[in-house]
Amino acid sequence: MHFCTVNNKPKTMKTFLLVLVLLTLKFGYSQTNKVFSIGNLDSNTYSNKFFGITLKIDSSWKIMNRKELYQIMEDRQNALEETNGKKYEVQKGSNILLSLTGDTLENIPQVLLSSLDLFFLPTIKNETDYLVDYAKRVRETYKNYDLQMSVSEIGQKSINNKIFFTSIITIKAEGYITYQKRYSLKFGNTLLNIMANYNSPSTLKQCERLIANLRWD
């Protein structure tokens, strides 16, 4: 699937989605909590004692190598800075926990778990603040691009009796459409964020089936 664009616009949906990931992540670990962990992956099961979660991953999903993902994101950041003529500061205190894709060609569907230490964002007090701030940063980043963007109202979604706050960003460009649904839940001063990228009802269901496998200790 291509973004058929001109004037230095993103050439593929894969590029665009990776830059969205870039807006929220830092290459490193939280500096404010000594017991924080990015978690462990054992065969097809991801677990994280800090958040008290376990996620079973079925064979339809490919686990993306964290090192390779960071390199791709860094390349996309350099391209974005060259296009917009400005330097972007990658969010401090944010970490990739797990990245999964159902299609290695276009990265849709994609589910990514990340964390955010709110020590680095004193103006963000809760999940709603974070989701609103994230949408504003996406708008600012892509204001010079030939695309349409809309953001849903903040909602709520129960995942096995834990209530996440949610929002959906819709992007339209050159006849193509993609969605990013974000789930956010606060643990003390740290947010657990889930990002689901999809482009159809079927890929949304694929993401939702995976997320529904999330279990709490």
The CATH number of residue 33's host domain is 3.40.1000.10
Q: Is residue 7 part of a domain?
A: no
Q: Is residue 50 part of a domain?
A: yes
How many Å apart are CA 15 and CA 11, to the nearest integer? Answer: 7
Q: Provide the pLDDT for residue 80.
A: 54
How many Å apart are CA 131 and CA 116, to the nearest integer? Answer: 12
| DSSP-assigned letter for residue 212 | T
How many Å apart are CA 128 and CA 145, to the nearest integer? Answer: 26
Q: Provide the pLDDT for residue 112.
A: 93
Q: Is residue 37 part of a domain?
A: yes
Q: Provide the pLDDT for residue 91.
A: 59
Express each pLDDT in 103-138 by its tens digit.
766 778 999 999 999 998 899 999 999 999 999 988
Q: Provide the pLDDT for residue 4.
A: 31
pLDDT averaged over 10-residue windows placed end to end, the chain, 217 residues: 34 51 45 68 93 95 78 61 56 82 80 92 94 91 83 97 97 90 96 95 95 96
Which one-letter amino acid corresponds to residue 173? A
Q: Is residue 88 part of a domain?
A: yes
Q: Is residue 76 part of a domain?
A: yes
Question: Which contiguous run of DSSP H or E holds residue 163?
Answer: strand 162-173
Residue-range definition of the domain harbouring residue 109: 13-216
The tally of domains found in the chain comes to 1
pTM attached to this predicted model = 0.80
At residue 120, the 3 state secondary structure works out as helix
**190 has which bridge partners?**
117, 187
